[in-house]
Amino acid sequence: MNTSTETPLTEQVTGVIKQNWNIFFLAILIVSMGQLSLGLIFPLLPWIQKDFSINQSLAESLIVSYLIGYGPSQLFYGPLSYVYGRRRVLLIGLFLSILGLGLLLYFHDCFDLLILARFIQGIGGGCESVIARAMLHDSYKNKFFLSAMTGLSIVSAFTPIFSPIVGGLVNHHFGWLAVFIGLFVYSALGYLVLVFYLPETLSKLRASIPVIPIFNYYYALLKDRYFLSYTVIGWINWALVIFSGSLAPFVLEDQLHLTSENYAYWSIVPAIAFLLASWLCFVLRKSYGTHHIVFIAPVIQLTVVVIFLLFPLTLFTVTLGFIGIAIAQALIYPCSQSLLLVPYSNKFGTVSALSGAGQMVFAAIFIFIAWRVHLDNVHALAMIVFITAILGLALAIIGKKSVASASLENG
């Protein structure tokens, strides 16, 4: 597990690209479809709220309904892909997701049907992350697997931070419906690429789905301190990114009076910070090891809390705080995911499905509760960042002292 931390960065990157480079980039394409379905929507929320004359909490249901559909469906896509193959299950799921987008475009003037269409899109999209990770596990059976997983995790975390740039600009010039049209076109073109170029990566299919052993293994994982430590770190930090991403347009456009175009340009700053921090993550892994990096992010997050609470609400302080959130996410998310998944390599699909399902459901519940209790300002965000930092630090300590104990015979 520590091999990649001892391998030079250039060798890690070239090794991942040389070995099954097509699978790696197709996995990035697959994951990007789901992440764009979140990140592109954040800057649209204030405008959808105004067009339908609804409150801020109801506008957020476009995010929540997608996550509720996306999360639990992963528990089924993972096991099904072992029986019917990664390719077939992925293409069916993506078709359902594109169908949901099509329904959204057709019924774009009815908000209730928008929510239903987003839910259907989420159910189909649940195949993306879990099967993309499983494809990498099928294809990288050596020291470069951890690097490939880290790269995919960086893309997963970066896309919701980067995509508001595109969503904001398109919304400013063409309206929010044009963003969904663009997402539909991108997903459809990506689907065609996968139809023609994605091979089956699973070498041997199973005859049936061992339902009872799978759920027994889920139960074993939920009692495993190592699994819980690093998966919950991923959950709370992902929820923080989704919440801060959905809050940002309301703070910047409604409270600081930025236009949607200027908001899009503002989004470039945390995106660049994330990219630089992702490079730093690779460097620090080589010098200090993956375990130690997860301790750095909480310190950065506590600094963000100080900025939000002690300084007045200005564009500069908000930008500085969001830069800190982006840097912390770039460091902690890929490392926590790598530490989570590698020890359970023999049950990778099951572990990935449970972790991914919990991540999306947790984020959906968290956002729903946050908006219900009116956590809709920078001070509320500071409180959430503080809780995330303290929990992350505690869980990192527990994880470092724990061993992955879930029995491999249970699944």
Per DSSP, the three-state class of 86 is: helix
Write the DSSP assignment of 390-403 as a string of letters: HHHHHHHHHHHH--
Contact 205, 85 (CB under 8 A): yes
Structure confidence at residue 190 as a pLDDT band (50, 70, 90): very high
**Residue showing tokens 């027994």:** 216
CB neighbours (10 Å) of residue 209? 14
Q: What does R_g of the chain's alpha carbons equal in angstroms? A: 20
C-alpha angle 345-349-353 in degrees, rounded to nearest 5: 125
The answer to whether 152 and 28 have CB atoms below 8 angstroms apart is yes
Q: Tokens representing 356?
A: 């991914």
Cα 31 to its chain centre, rounded Å, is: 9
Q: How far apart are the first and last CA of the chain?
A: 22
The closest alpha carbon to 354, from 256, 181, 219, 175, belongs to 219
Question: Tens digit of pLDDT for each residue in 268-313?
Answer: 899 899 888 888 887 777 777 777 888 999 999 999 999 999 999 9
Confidence band of 142 (pLDDT split at 50, 70, 90): low
User: Angle CA(304)–CA(307)–CA(309) in degrees, nearest 5?
Assistant: 105
C-alpha span between 157 and 155 (Å, rounded): 5
Determine the pLDDT at residue 209: 74
Question: Which tokens in the block code for residue 303?
Answer: 């600094």
Give the DSSP letter string of 239-300.
Answer: HHHHHHHHHHHIIIIIIS---HHHHHHHTHHHHHHHHHHHHHHHHHHHHH-HHHHTTHHHHH
Within 8 A by CB and 6+ apart from 61, the residues are: 115, 368
CA dist 121 → 101, 126, 156, 302, 389 (Å): 6, 9, 18, 36, 32
Percent residues over pLDDT 90 in the chain: 40
DSSP 15: H
pLDDT at 411: 43
DSSP 346: G
pLDDT digits (tens, 9 = 90+) for 211-265: 788 888 888 888 899 999 999 999 999 899 889 988 898 888 888 888 888 888 8
Average pLDDT rounded to a whole number, residues 183-194 = 96
Mean pLDDT of 354-367: 88
Let me know if domain 3-410 sits in CATH 3.40.50.460.
Answer: no
Maximum CA extent, the chain: 62
Q: Which residue has the tokens 């310190």?
A: 299
- What does the alpha-carbon distance between residue 144 and residue 15 come to, in Å, rounded to a whole number? 6
Specify the amino acid at residue 84.
Answer: Y
The encoded tokens of residue 111 equal 């908000």
- The average pLDDT across 70-99 equals 91
Residue 367 has pLDDT above 70, yes or no: yes
Answer whether 359's CB lies under 8 Å from 157's CB: no
Inter-residue contact 86 to 138 (CB < 8 Å): yes
Q: Would you state the pLDDT for residue 406?
A: 65
